[in-house]
Amino acid sequence: MQGSKDCFEQIVLRHSGSLLRFVGSSVRVAQDAEDIVQDVFLNVYANMNRFDCEGSFKAWLYTIAYNCKNSYLRKKRVRCQPLEVVQRAQVSPEEILTQKQEVASVWALASTLSASQSTAIWLRYHEQMDVSQIALVMKKSRMHVRVLLHRARTRLAGMMNEPV
Amino acid sequence: MLCWIYRWFLACCVDTRTGLGPRLDRHVRVCRACRTYHQTHLRISDLLETQVPQVSIEGDRSFQDTILVSLPVRDAAPVSALRFRHRSLVALAASVFILVSVILTARHMASLENAKRLEQTSALTSMAVLPRQWAPSQLLATYGSLMQAPLETEVKNLTTDARQAARFLVQCTPFARADSRERD
């Protein structure tokens, strides 16, 4: 990685799609997700010298994406709080399940989990990260990540009427 | 009773996709609830891994071009060069610090040595200048007189002690001493 634009282009080509999906799993507006990902890459480009070469680049990239996504969601929550509260009060996970029964997948249910649980699930099963990498991205202890994964799976099993 | 502990370890095994150890395996075979728990978590894990999430937005070439166009004109500095410069600066700073501390310590040690030497010299000079009564000739004379008349000196000392004791007793009495002129 030379830090030049040519090399950076390779990074963008390799990771932009997965980052878009990662951000898009929480941010439902496509334009906003694209803005966030663009912001992520700008941050990566500007702070490339801060990257610890001995660590995982993917984990570092997703840490920045996770922070950008969270700051976006925080701003959005402040601006649109009443609307979100109404939406959450009206639509429960069970209702979502019945509405989208024919297209319901376990990932659709996973999107109804809490933000940290769904992020942990996403990073573990979609990005194939191990627990220590997820802990690095989410700035949590490994034990906390294990608890998040465990609770998320238990809740998913409950939603799918699986015996636990 | 200890199923919750076994379940925690079972969840860890599901997370890391490692096989159960002999102890866990034995428990899972015996305990039906834990077996169901393990199978459910494995099934959920399998579903999460196999089912591709349906997200509408996809990264395309135009979006990637947009990102690349939006980058600042200045090229980011090469990582390796920056890191090397950073490390060499740290090494340089550390060596300068060590050098300065060595010089300062050497100076301090030298000043301590000087101070000690000065102290020793002054002590020697003070020993050379003895009080007058300690002069060897004087000491010899005193010693000689003491040896010649030991009882005389002893009597003289006893007289002095008795006089001082009497003076002390008089001072301790509550009444004042009569003035000799009034008595006359």
**pLDDT above 50 for A87:** no
Q: A26-40, B27-41, B126-140, B160-174: which range is least confident on average?
A: B126-140
Domain boundaries, chain B: 1-50, 100-129, 132-174
Question: In B, residues 108-147, which contact A (CB 8 Å cutoff)?
Answer: none
- Whether residue B92 has pLDDT greater than 60: yes
What is the domain partition of chain A in residue ranges?
Answer: 1-90, 91-164
Min Cα distance B97 → chain A (Å) is 25
Secondary structure, 3-state, chain A: CCCCHHHHHHHHHHHHHHHHHHHHCCCCCHHHHHHHHHHHHHHHHHCHHHCCCCCCHHHHHHHHHHHHHHHHHHHHHHHCHHHHHHHHHHCCHHHHHHHCCCCCCHHHHHCCCCHHHHHHHHHHHHCCCCHHHHHHHHCCCHHHHHHHHHHHHHHHHHHCCCCC
Pair A124, A156: CB distance under 8 Å: no
Q: What's domain A91-164's architecture?
A: Orthogonal Bundle (1.10)
pLDDT at B93 over 50: yes
Question: For residue B57, what pLDDT band results from cuts at 50, 70 and 90?
Answer: very low
CA distance B17 to B11: 10
Of all residues in chain B, the one with the smallest CA distance to A103 is B54
Chain A hits for B76, CB-CB cut-off 8 Å, are: 3-4, 8, 45-46, 48-49
- Measured on CA atoms in the order B85, B91, B92, B93, is the torsion positive or negative? positive
Position B50 scores a pLDDT of 83
| Contact criterion met (CB < 8 Å) for A149 and B15 | yes
Structure confidence at residue A102 (pLDDT): 37
CA distance A119 to chain B (A): 13
Q: Which two tokens stand for residue A103?
A: 């297209």
CATH number of A1-90: 1.10.1740.10
More confident residue, A80 or A23: A23
How confident is residue A79, by pLDDT bands cut at 50, 70 and 90? low
pLDDT of res. A82? 39
| Chain B residues close to A163, C-beta within 8 Å | 36, 40
Residue B60 token pair: 């395309």
**Sign of the torsion formed by the C-alpha atoms of A4, A10, A13 and A17:** negative
Residues 6+ apart with CB under 8 A from B11: A146, A149, A150, A153, B41
Q: What percent of chain A has pLDDT over 90?
A: 15
ipTM over 0.85: no
pLDDT digit string, tens, across residues B154-173: 888 899 999 999 988 888 87
